[in-house]
Structure formats: structure tokens, C-alpha cells
Structure 1
Amino acid sequence: MMRRGTGSGKSRQSEAGLLTQLRRPPGGRDARIMLLAQLLDRTGSGVWAASSVLYFTFVVGLDARTLGLLLGAGGVAGIAGSPLAGRLADRYPVRPLLIGCHLLRLGTVCLLLVCRDVALLLPVVALTSMGDRAAKTLEMLFATRVAGERRSTYQALYRSVSNAGYALGAGIAAAGLAVGTRTAYDLLILGDALSFLLAAALVRRTREPHGGGRMTAPPGGGTTAGPAAARSPWRDPGYLRFVLMDIPMNLDDSILNVGLPLWLVHRTTAPHAFVPAFLVVNTVLVVVFQLRVSARFTEPRQAAGAAARYGLLLLACCTVLATCTGGGAWTASAAMLGAAVLVTMAELMRSVSSWELAVSLAPRDARASYLGVAGMSQSVQKSAGPLLLTGAVMTAGPAGWLVLGAAVTGLSVAQRYACLRRLDTVLPAGGAADVQEAVPA
């Protein structure tokens, strides 16, 4: 009883500290600028995320399978974005690399206005996805270098601001979808492009964070020649196993952005205008609960435990989707809303587990390269996830959702045990520190 009470007190203190950091984020001025840039970036991304599936379906005229192929191709290109960004960040400053990613996406998103053929859309979507994944990896590196050991606090604030932007963007998209004309969709695309331009301008005002790739200080003192002396994540089978097992732990993204909208449109009687509500519910809940969840999962072993909870929550979401095909519009809408809540709860578990473990299991002198490889798990999921949902799960109907939920639950338990075994070899007893020495296989 005493131990439980003490833990609860620590959680309340952690939450209070996190709430204070909303006003004074780790990293000072540069962190505040980056958070504002993230708000603008994610507002535009929220506009596109809430409208892209319907845009490609009703404006471009793609069927579900072609749409899955298009999004999957973008995900394949995105796989290269994360390790490429990590490799470059070991050699060049993060700040200009991130500005370049924003400008790349600005150009490709504008091309969507004139591309209607699938052959033209494929490279445009691919480059956009590559820039998006590279930007996210660079933003993660910025967070680790600016916030240091307070990275969990920064990440919680970062995700809260990001999801606030998504919620705002989804609200803007709802207005455009209510109009439903091609001009309205084009304006939504231009809004997304504008967000990248403003984000690039803000990043330009920041200073390069410490910890770049040229010279780094190892834990024992002295210096090492950055990337030249850093170990390679591709020769670390233990870390690669973590990355591989982390892929299905990101399926909540495809379920929210692809599975829920298409299931609503093709298998339920819920109104199409209800689609943006999924993203609104998701982002609002993340803004409200991300700080509290992060305060309870601040150590690597706690993050490993969050993985099993992810699987159970995703199973509950899939079960709701499998049983919501009957009934009237109101019943279907309520069920789909419940599924959105459950997939958001799973996302909260994933955010603390994937982030903390990716950083903690990476050696300090090669963190940029390691995090670049870790970012591939999300990229692979963005490639395979839409294809899995549109080509297998939705084709199989309700049974497909049940099989998917059960499979992810089993994999999440396996990931938990694998990570705990690895953490036992790289962390001191009861510790939750940075991994600075050699990382075993």
C-alpha cells in the first residue's frame, strides 16, 4: 500500500511539472519556435489527412484498391526518408535539413493541384512521403538534442501541440468537405502547402541544437569524430529486431486515416461528413491526455509495458469495427466514434513506447543514425498498412478486423518481452538512463 501511494504521488508531481512546461518548454526560445512551427505544419497536415481519402476518391476518382496502392507507394518512398535523414544529420546541421524537407513538401503538395493521372500522382505522393518521414526524424533529433534528459517532457509537449494542429486542421477540412466542390478541395490543398512555407520560415529563426555530427563528447571524456567513429545500427541485430517488431505497433495510424474513413463510406450507413470527426476526436484526446500518459511512462521498462496495452486497445477497436455494419446511421456513427476513441488510446500507448525505447536503446554517439533506422518502422507501416487494410482486412469484412486485432495483440506481447530482455542487458538495475556504452545484440 505504501508503495502504491508513493507512486501515485510521483505521478501527480510529474503531471504538475509537465503542465508547467507548457509555458516553459525544455530548450527555451528555440523549443518555443519549433513548437509553433509544428503547430502550423500539423494544422496543414490535419487539413490534408482529413480530406485526402475523400479527395482521391471523389475528385480524382480512384477506387479503394488503387487508393491503397497509391498510399502504399508513398509509404515505400517514406521508408528511405528516415534513415537518409538520420545519416545526413550525423554529418550536417539539422536546421537546414529540416527547412529543406518543408520546402520539398511545399512543392510536391502544390503539384497535387495539377496531377490527376495515377502515373503522375505516384511520384508526387512518394516525394511528399519521403519529405514527411525525413522531417519527422529530424524533428525527433532536434528534440533529443535540445531537451536532453528531459526529452520525455519535450516529446509530450511536442505531440500535444502537433495534435492540437491536427484538430484545427480537421475542423478546417470539415468546412471544405461540407461544401464538397473541387474548388473547396483545391483550397484545402493550398492551405496545407502554406503551412509548410510558414514552418520553414520559423525553423530558419532557430539556432542549430548542440550534438551535431562533427565532433561529439563520449561519456568517458575526450572527443570522437562523430559519424566516422559511430557504430552502425545496421550491424546491431538487437536494435533491428526492435525496429522490425515496432512496425505492427504503428497500425493505428493507417486504421485512423484509411481504415475508418473507407469502412464508414463502404460498409456503414453513417454520413460521409462524419469522417473529419475521427481526426478531431483523435487529436483532442491526445492533446488532453498525452501529458498525463507520458508522465506515467517515463522509463524504458515502463515504455516496454505500454506495448502490451497497445495490442489490447487495438483489439477492442477492431472488434467494434467488426460489429458496426448493421443498424441505422446514428448507431453506425456512434460505433465509429467509439472505434476512433479506442484507436486513439492505442496511439497514446504507442507514442510513449516507440519513442522512449528508440532513444534509450540507441548509443549516444550514433543516435542520429539509430533514430533514422527506428523511424523506418513508421514508414514501413505507412507503406504496408494501407495495402493490408484495403487489400486484405476490408476484403475479408468483419472477420478481417477480428483477425487483425488478434494478430497485433499477440505481436505486442512478444514485443514487450523482447524489449524487456534487451533492456535488462543495457540498463543498470532499476535504471532508466541513456544507453551510452556498447549496445549488445
Structure 2
Amino acid sequence: MTASVHHLEQLLLHVLVQLIIMIAAARLFHGLALRLGQPGATGEIVAGLLLGPSLFGALFPEASLWVFGSKPGDEIAVLSQVGLILLMFQIGSEFHFNLLKDPATRRTMLGVAAASILVPFALGLALGLASAATLAPAINPVVYSLFCGVALAITAVPILGRILRQFGLTAHPLGVIAISAAAVNDVIGWLLLAAIAAIGAAAFDPGGFGLKLLGLAALGAVLMLVVKPLLDRLIGPVERGEKPLGPDLIALILALCFGAAIVTSSLGIFAIFGGFAVGITVHRHQAFAALWRDKIGVFVLVFFLPIFFTFTGLRTNVLGLDSATDIGWCLAFLAASILGKILPVYAAARLSGFTPAQSGVLGSLMNTRALMELIVLNVGRDMGFIPQDVFTMLVIMAITTTLMTGPLLRWLLPKTGHVIPQGVDA
């Protein structure tokens, strides 16, 4: 066996050990979370955090170093990004824009979306400006503060969708408003993140930025005018039951997702956005989206998502917040994120005629951050918008706000007259 083959074999064995540990831990904590009344994905997020320096690395440093190394390896980083591209396709394909045809529902959704974006963004911006000198002295304070605003404004569409299924709210007016407002919230969040990336560039060139916008518009035009009609024609027979979801169509969609990811990455708008853009082109085909979720999506959730959660956990060291100043700022971010979501959404819902309990449900749902927040935080860390300690603070915020949702809904939903279904795997 040559040296290069031996090295490749050793690398493969090392990655396989990592995969076994990540997937097993994710499934274990998924089941534990369900038994505690939480969405299974919440347990997977916690599992990823515990595999990092916050627990495994602290208790068994030598074993952690042997399994995961001193930092996440490139192979884990790449696998996590591939998984996110596929997940973002699924998220885009499951958007229910048709649920907003009712004018009253649409007005309420827009009010909830505006409240859930503007207030937490303003609070995050203010906290960023106040903490920049202390927490991020080496980072452009404007870029850092703007990113803090985006981080507090995010709502997690994927986890929210799973929570709605768990609590039987998918077709309920409250669920429709929440998931639609979260979708608007996340799209605006991604656009703001792209703008911050442009502002944070070492040499901001208005002409170059304009060309990137034209490139994004060209991608959108190609997707709508070329890709969408093609996929409509290919997906139609699958939805009508005339053909199965076969390997050729799966291969085409994978190629489109990865191709769009290359384009969006080249435009400086993150590779994972390419998968989302392709997903949007097929969002009208909900039967197809369900087939894709059952055939491909389950594998993405079981295999790829634990890799991303562990990748995030390996970069998060809760024990690194070891000073009163760090803990104080962490609590400040947490309080601003919770109050900045729940109270404005509650007020917007009350103004739209909802009862206090219904308004509280909407506020609790919009406070869910989880996966989308973790994606945004990893982008911000990679681009140098936030330092390590602030990354950790915001990860804690993302997990805490998501863990709150289940207990709040179990308390509030009975007050609205809604019966919570039992035994739904989320």
C-alpha cells in the first residue's frame, strides 16, 4: 500500500468514526427531546453542542482531540455545507405562499412579520453598538452591530414547520400566519446578510456590487424562465402518479441545486442560498415536495444535519464565557432576543383582533430560531463579522429561544381551545 493510499484510508476511517458518533448522538438526543415534549431537531442541536468543547472536549480532551481534532476538519465543513444546500432546497420547495390569499390573514402576517423583524433588529443593532468596544474591538463596529441586528431578527422556518406539525398547527390560522411571517422574516434576513457582506468587504466597489446584483437577477430569470418550466413539465407526471420520483429527476435537481450554489457563492451571496432559490421554483408542487422529503429529505435530516450541528458545536465553547462581563452580555443578548420577538408580535396580533392567548402563541412561535439562526451565525463567524465569544453567546440564544417554544405552546394552546395531538414525531 502506497503512502498516499494509506493516508486516504486513515482519513476515511477517521471520518467514519466521526460520522458514527455524530449520527448516533443525534438520534439518541432526538428521541430524548421527543420524550421531553420538544421537537426532535432541538435534541439534535443540543447533541452537536455537547460533542464540542462545551462538554465532551472539556471532560475528555484527549479523546475529543483524537476524534475531532483541534478544530472541525475541512471534510466535515464541506459535508455540512452540502447538507445545508439540500436542506435549503427542501425549505424553499415547502413554502406555502398560497395560504395568504385571504386579505385579513395577509394583513396580520405582514404586521407580525414587520414587528418580528424591526424591533429585534433595532435592539440587536443597539446592543452591537454598545458592546462593540468590549466584545469586538478588532471588528468594524458598523458591520458587527448590523450583524447582531440580523442575528436577533431571525426566525427559523425549518424548525418552526416541524413544531407546527408536532402541535397540529400546520393548517391552523395561527400556524399559517407564523410560518408565512417567518418566511418573509428569513428572506429579508438573508438579503440583509448579503448587504452586510458587501459593506464588510475590504474594498467595497459600487460597480462590482451592481454587477453582483445583476448576476443575481440573471440567476432568478434563468430559474423562472428556463428551469421552472422544465421542472414543471418533469414533475407533473410524478405528482399525477404516472411516473415515480426516479433517479434521473433526482440527479437533475441535485445538479441544479449545486450549480445554483456555485453561482450564488460566486456572487458573494452564500452557496446555500442557491439550493433555496431552486426550491422556490418548485414550491407550487407540494405533492412533489412531500415525495422528495420522504425519499431524500429523511436522509438529509439523518445524515447531513447532525454533521452541521456537530460542526457548530465544535466551534462553540460555553465554558469560554468565564467572566462576569461575558455572562452579562450573554444575558443581555438573550433578554433582547426574547422580549424583542414576543412582545412586538403579541402587540401586532392584538391589534389584528387576536385574543391574548392567541397573540402569545404567535409571539412564542416567532421566537423560535434554531437551525436558521445557526446557519446565519456560522456565516457571520466565517466572514469575520463576530468574534468567538459573541458567536457562543448567540448560539446559546438560538438554543434557548427554541427550547422555550414547546413549553410555552403547551401552556397557551389549551387557552385558545386547540387540542394538541399526541405522538407526532417532529
TM-score using structure 1 length: 0.27
Q: Between the two structures, name the one with larger relative contact order (CA 8 Å, sep ≥ 6).
A: 2
